[in-house]
Structure 1
Amino acid sequence: MLLKRRYLPSLGSFATFEVAAKHLSFTLAGNELNVTQAAISQQIRGLEKSLGVILFIRKHNSLELTSDGQRLLTAVSGGLDIICDGINNINAPSDPPVITCSGTNAAIACWLKPLVDRFRSDRPDVRFVLLASDEDDTLRNFDEVDLSLICGNERCEVGENLYYLFPDIVQPVCSPDYLERHGPFPDAQSLERADLLDLHRKHWTSDAIGWHPVTWDDWFQASGLGVPHVLPAMVSNNYPLLVNAAVKGEGIVLGWHHLVRTLMDEGALCPLFDTPLRVDRGYYLKVNRASLDKPHVQEFIDFVLTGLAALEQAHQRPGAAMRDEL
């Protein structure tokens, strides 16, 4: 006759039986379960009585499983394993890990997104939320934001929650196609006949852009030239739009190294002069301290920092000039 579930002995008695069968000793089973040998013996006798079978052959100084005991051990061990797996599945996160990052429109689109793509090529199980805004300067302070790209003076103190990434470096860039059609541009003076792409002043007054503007006028002055009377071919407060226009061969844009380096590496853009302009500020990765315990956040931070170090080493060129005019 089949035993109905409601008439089964307690789960605890089966767990006690498994431990006793593992050790073949009521004394050792009691030590593991922190109860007396007599309590183990009593539970086993109760289980045998409930099932109507003998589970152990009791010898003078040892125990042996009967054939019924061996069959029960196989069933109990498998059943307890299934219960443990079920509990683990219940307690496991229902969603894959997610990393939330914030920054300006250009920082997210031109710098962070390529990094995320490379990271996810090896870790496709990690999801990202990328919050981009030139107007909302409070994104970095949201509790859900794990990492933020911020700009500040290079003398900012770094620590466990603020990592220095790179300096602010700009230089004119254009597509190889534009250079072939309209070049050459041997010096800064020759840019007077070029199609310049420029950032609108609204970009620099946005709430999340809290630093001194760098314009074509600044670049010409840093190059030792008077500011030429050149009307830009296109003006926009959206930097990714201007970069995209340069890639399409529509003109020359001031390229921030961290924003156009991927496109330069891919050959979509090329620098016009070997004298980058370095501005007295840098970029930092701000880390939400509470996020360090989240899965994969520290792994992504290490991925970013290691990649930047390797990239900087690869792009170092002996004797390259760099101007520090601003």
Structure 2
Amino acid sequence: MPSSYDLPSLGDLACFEAAARHLSFKEAASELNVTPAAVSHRIKALEFELTQPLFLRRYRGVELTEAGTLLFVALQRGFTTISECVSRIRNSQDETGVAIASTSAVSGLWLTQFLALFLENNPDISVSQIVQDSGTPPGPDLSIVYGDPNEEHDETRHLFRGRIVALGTRKFLENHKITNVLDLLSVPLIHTQTSNSTRTEWAEWFDAFGATLPGGPRYSLNNYLISLQAAENHIGAVLGWESLLTEYMKNDRLIQLVPESIESPYPFYLRIHSGASENARLFADWLVERLVPDQARATPS
């Protein structure tokens, strides 16, 4: 009986995806636990079936052809969807529950307080937080993302945007006699290195005011919550979103060091994954309704 889908061998497609992702037959072979010759054989079979080359074989490696690029993009989207579905099946215990993914910073600084209020009003709904600072979390109903929602294929809801400010302790401000943006160029600055390419760094922040690159001491971390803790310990100045750090600023744990600020280039938004539970959608509606009209508030009402 013929297949319902006009597809080549799934094994050949998986082999091609690995080779295209690595741009290396050798690395694909290592990932798939086969020989490079086996990878080459499968890709040649796939190219024969599609009647056109998928790779350009170069002396120093391989490159994707136009057809190869089209196929690679389609396969990545398909495999990502399948992977999310498989993860949901493996991890699903309560199809009526809500699984929501976010970074440790968003979870600790913003999300958990909303979840507490939601559970107070909806005690019969099971909620699980998936806290992950890199990679794709396994099978959530919802994700809180910082970036461009127009790049998503799933439904999204705008949460907040706000402004990015330079923060530090009052002691740090007084010790370094900071009065304007230029004063920040020579003081210790805390840099948070993450996998999120959309995060605004100090160089971009200073550039908005026509300032040169900072020349002061650099303190680097790979976790934003620890960066905030370092700033609280007077180690340096840190960049932060006003909307995310309302409690820090309200309690003077960190203060705005200079009046200048920039608008965040991207918003925080809620991604509603395909197959999200009804209660996940209920929480999404509830959360958006509790944000003030200008979407800038960061504490529940």
> Shorter-chain-normalised TM-score: which range?
0.5 to 0.7
Q: Residue 256 in 1 paired to residue 241 in 2? A: yes
Aligned-residue offset at 1:287:
1.5
Which SS does the other structure have where 1:194 is aligned? coil
Question: Which residue of structure 2 aligns with residue 219 of structure 1?
Answer: 205
Which SS does the other structure have where 1:290 is aligned? coil
Distance in 1 (alpha carbons) for counterparts of 2:96 and 2:198: 37
Q: Closer, same or farther in 2 for the Cα pair 1:261/1:276, shift >3 Å?
A: same
Distance in 2 (alpha carbons) for counterparts of 1:197 and 1:298: 38
Question: Which residue of structure 1 aligns with residue 134 of structure 2?
Answer: 135
Letter in 2 for 1:287: I
Q: Residue 151 in 1 paired to residue 146 in 2? A: yes
Aligned-residue offset at 1:105:
2.8
Distance in 2 (alpha carbons) for counterparts of 1:123 and 1:177: 43
Which SS does the other structure have where 1:275 is aligned? strand
- Segments of structure 1 that go 5 or more residues without pairing to the other structure are 1-93, 316-326
Q: Closer, same or farther in 2 for the Cα pair 1:197/1:240, shift >3 Å?
A: same
Distance in 2 (alpha carbons) for counterparts of 1:97 and 1:157: 24
Aligned-residue offset at 1:184:
4.2
Question: Which residue of structure 2 aligns with residue 110 of structure 1?
Answer: 109
Distance in 1 (alpha carbons) for counterparts of 2:289 and 2:275: 22
Bigger mean CA offset, 297-306 vs 116-125: 116-125
Letter in 1 for 2:292: A
Which SS does the other structure have where 2:109 is aligned? helix
Question: Which residue of structure 2 aligns with residue 71 of structure 1?
Answer: none
- Segments of structure 2 that go 5 or more residues without pairing to the other structure are 1-92
* Alignment equivalent of 1:283, drawn from 268, 280, 285: 268
Bigger mean CA offset, 121-130 vs 217-226: 121-130
Q: Closer, same or farther in 2 for the Cα pair 1:155/1:168, shift >3 Å?
A: farther
Question: Which residue of structure 1 aligns with residue 214 of structure 2?
Answer: 228
Contact 2:162/2:242 (CA < 8 Å) preserved in 1? yes
Decide which structure has the larger Cα Rg and report it. 1
Q: Closer, same or farther in 2 for the Cα pair 1:303/1:270, shift >3 Å?
A: farther
Aligned-residue offset at 1:124:
5.0
How well do the aligned residues superpose, as a CA RMSD in angstroms?
3.2
* Alignment equivalent of 2:187, drawn from 188, 194, 202: 194
Q: Closer, same or farther in 2 for the Cα pair 1:132/1:313, shift >3 Å?
A: closer
Question: Which residue of structure 2 aligns with residue 306 of structure 1?
Answer: 289
Distance in 1 (alpha carbons) for counterparts of 2:189 and 2:294: 28
Aligned pair count? 206
Larger relative helix fraction: 1
Contact 2:130/2:137 (CA < 8 Å) preserved in 1? no
Aligned-residue offset at 1:227:
1.3
Distance in 1 (alpha carbons) for counterparts of 2:285 and 2:158: 13
TM-score of the aligned structures, taking structure 2 as reference length: 0.58
Contact 2:146/2:198 (CA < 8 Å) preserved in 1? no
* Alignment equivalent of 1:265, drawn from 242, 250, 256: 250
Q: Closer, same or farther in 2 for the Cα pair 1:304/1:270, shift >3 Å?
A: farther
Instruction: Give deviations 1:128-158, integer Å, cap 9, x for gaps.
Output: 311122222253xx1xx22101233265589
Letter in 2 for 1:238: N
Contact 2:186/2:215 (CA < 8 Å) preserved in 1? no
Letter in 2 for 1:303: W
Q: Closer, same or farther in 2 for the Cα pair 1:138/1:118, shift >3 Å?
A: closer
Q: Closer, same or farther in 2 for the Cα pair 1:158/1:269, shift >3 Å?
A: farther
Distance in 1 (alpha carbons) for counterparts of 2:189 and 2:270: 31
Of all paired residues, the percent bearing the same amino acid is 22
